[in-house]
Amino acid sequence: MRKPRNCTKKAKTEIEEITDLLIKFRDERNWEQFHNSKDLALALSIEAAELNELFLWKTAEDVNVEKLKEELAEEVQV
């Protein structure tokens, strides 16, 4: 596989560090058993649906911004 032009050794190290932290977090909770294509796809779909629900039957301007911020914070929280 070709290395992207802008990928530096430092960036790769940072990515590896983040990956190691995520794997450690996962392993501490015994979640590896759920990390398969089906379960990950379902989880992603469910989380996206929770965000979509905030916009249902509303214009983008009518969405409750505080609820949106709260939901987004839950989704990106590690």
Every domain of the chain and the residues it spans: 9-76
Do the beta carbons of residue 54 and residue 71 sit within 8 Å?
Answer: yes
Question: Is residue 8 predicted with pLDDT exceeding 80?
Answer: no
> What's the CATH class of domain 9-76?
mainly alpha
76 against 38, higher pLDDT: 38
pLDDT over 70, % of the chain: 83
With H, G, I as helix, E, B as strand and everything else as coil, classify residue 77.
Answer: coil
| Measured distance CA(63)–CA(72) in Å, rounded | 13
pLDDT tier for residue 23 given thresholds of 50, 70 and 90: very high
Average pLDDT, the chain: 86
pTM of the model: 0.59
The distance of Cα 53 from the centroid of its chain, to the nearest Å, equals: 18
Distance between CA atoms of residues 27 and 49, nearest Å: 27
